[in-house]
A and B are shown apart, each in its own frame.
Chain A
Amino acid sequence: MSSKTVREMIEENKSSKTNFRGVTEKVMPKFLLLCAIISVLTTFGIVFTLIFETFNFFSKVSFLEFITSPDWYPMHSNASFGIRPLILGTLTIAAIAILVALPLGLAAAIFLSEYASDRMRRIVKPVLEVLAGVPTIVYGFFALTFVTPLLQNIIPGLSIYNALSPGIVVGVMIIPMIASLSEDAMSAVPNAIREGAYAMGATKFEVAIKVVFPAALSGIIASIVLAISRAIGETMIVTVAGGANPTSAIDITNAIQTMTAYIVQISLGDAGYGTTAYYSIYAVGMTLFVFTLIMNLAAYFISRKFREVY
């Protein structure tokens, strides 16, 4: 070591770098603020466009018709703009998806958090995350070309475009999300709490179900709500495999149309720019936005409550 004391070295460095450090300290916050502003402005821009064009739509079609009419015939000569069939299509898909994903996702989460060895967890978790990153168009064709024919063997009357197949596949798509987020919530439960239960003669399953699961409940619910929101917003799978048949009749063996699939259909050029059908996608998009916003807010509030538990 040199003969200088640490203090002397610090002083030396300080004087040689004063300017640079000072500039960094001044510029950095401004740069970061700029980045923050850009992302916030973009979001506002999108929401603003959405609202603006939605108003445009409602100058042509009454809001009352939008929410009460049972039919969605945007391209008819005698057009009717009732959102209900699209909402029902969307909710049908979300319901099937959650029926598939909830038991499987939670079982996977419990297994990973309470039973799997560290090594296994280290392998499985990244795999789950990769699975969550598969482009949804791939899932879409998986539904159409694999799951639908498979289901047709079991359910003879199943049409080629139906709600069941994409519903199941959307469920498969959100399993990793539920499994991974719920596992995080369960792993966050302190070990001391598990030990308390084991020390009273609880079995592994009792500890998992009656102690860890309830302790992580709000985190788990938040993960489910987020997954539902993802299912509602899912687009490609339902566009490819669900058909384009907006209907208020809930029949999972038949073609349906979700809000997202309708937006895709119109965006692909089925309706000319400036037509009422064209503007309708903004109203539908707005509805979708409201749905997912509510879901995300719910997830946010639930997970905030979660932090106060222990």
Chain B
Amino acid sequence: MTSPTKEETVFNVENLNLWYGNTHALKNINMDIARNQVTAIIGPSGCGKSTFIKTLNRMVEMVPSVNISGTINYHGQGIFESKYMVEELRTRVGMVFQKPNPFPKSIYENVAYGPRIHGIKKKQDLDAIVEKSLKGAAIWDEVKDRLDENAYGLSGGQQQRICIARCLAIEPDVILMDEPTSALDPISTLKVEELVRELKKDYTIVIVTHNMQQAARISDRTAFFLNGEVIEMSDTDKLFSTPEDKRTEDYITGRFG
């Protein structure tokens, strides 16, 4: 593992609080997310994992009742500052959702959508991007002969990898994944996990998971959330072998949650 001192910080979260109406969903979160690492977020249901990663690309603001205080710096730039364009942030910070949500379009159009809306129009450029992205998402061989078919004709695991390809197509810097394998069978899950390990070379990944083995297998650092707070965050090996907090230990050994 790379030594922590040399790491470049991608996200720096300071005193982040978030309310849904009166529900205090995130409480005083402080966290650094390092470049080219996989950061796993674990914790019991309802503890604020999804809310947290949706805050990183400001998707959480689509809920009308949301209130946020604190700062999140992305490469030193405050993402809540009024001059910062939310579309710009989301171009750099991609997201893969829990349930595969391809567009009801062809496989090709799904992947080409992002580049298209960001102004790339030439067929040969798009062809190259689509191929590269599908290869990057380890699904090229499975779909290369059926790029014109509707993405909804694929299996759930394939759809999820199409969604990952769609996300890769605009070459983001960070990829947020909210339980990307929870709707998948074990084999598709393994494929996505392998993919995450592969993608780490080029991307920074934040992944929410309910599966502790998965967190242990694929992540470099792990944060344990409970009731909207970060209880403990450290290197994954350390968090799972010698947790500092009693509550972390209880959770990872399955004594509650």
Residue B210 CB within 8 A of the other chain: no
Are A192 and B103 within 8 A (Cβ)? no
Chain B CB within 8 A of A100 CB? no
Chain A residues with CB under 8 Å of B97's CB are 192, 195-196, 199
Which of these binds chain A: B9-17, B29-37, B84-92, B231-239?
B84-92
Known pairs A192-B99, A202-B87; A309 contacts B104 (CB<8 A): yes
Partner of B87, one of A190, A203, A309: A203
Q: How far is the CA of A206 from the CA of B115 in the complex (A)?
A: 13
Does A200 sit at the interface, judged by CB under 8 A? Answer: yes
Specify which chain A residues have a CB less than 8 angstroms from the CB of B102 in the assembled complex: 193, 196
Complex Cα distance, B119 from A210, in Å, reads 13
**A198 to B152 CA separation, bound complex (whole angstroms):** 20
Closest chain-A Cβ to B40's Cβ sits at a distance in Å of: 20
B48 interface contact, C-beta 8 A: no
- How many cross-chain pairs have Cβ atoms below 8 Å apart between A and B? 67
Min CB–CB distance B85 → chain A (angstroms): 9
Q: Is the CB–CB distance between B59 and A198 below 8 Å?
A: yes
Does A198 contact B62, Cβ atoms closer than 8 Å? yes
Contact A199 B57 (CB under 8 A): yes
**Count of chain A residues with a beta carbon within 8 Å of a chain B beta carbon:** 19
Within A184-211, the residues touching B (CB, 8 Å) are: 190, 192-193, 195-203, 206, 210-211
Residue of A nearest to B167 (CB): A200
Docked complex Cα distance between A310 and B118 (Å): 25
Encode contact with A along B103-134: 1 for CB under 8 Å, 0 otherwise.
11100000001101110000000000000000
Partner of A211, one of B90, B91, B103, B118: B103
The answer to whether A201 touches B90, judged by C-beta atoms less than 8 angstroms apart, is: yes
A214 at the B interface (CB under 8 A): yes
With a CB–CB cut-off of 8 A, which chain A residues contact B163? 196
Select from chain A the residue with minimum beta-carbon distance to B88. Answer: A201
> Is the CB–CB distance between A200 and B104 below 8 Å?
no
A215 interface hit (Cβ, 8 Å): yes
Interface residues as binary, A31-50 with B (CB distance below 8 Å gives 1, 0 otherwise): 00000000000000000000
Please indicate the chain A residues that have their CB under 8 angstroms from the CB of B103 in the complex.
193, 196-197, 211, 215
13 contacts between A and B (CB under 8 A): A190-B101, A192-B101, A195-B62, A196-B103, A200-B90, A200-B94, A200-B113, A201-B170, A202-B87, A202-B117, A211-B103, A211-B113, A310-B104
Binding site for A on B (CB under 8 A): 57, 59, 62, 87-91, 94-95, 97, 99, 101-105, 113-114, 116-118, 150, 152, 163, 166-167, 170
Chain A positions near chain B (C-beta within 8 angstroms) = 190, 192-193, 195-203, 206, 210-211, 214-215, 309-310
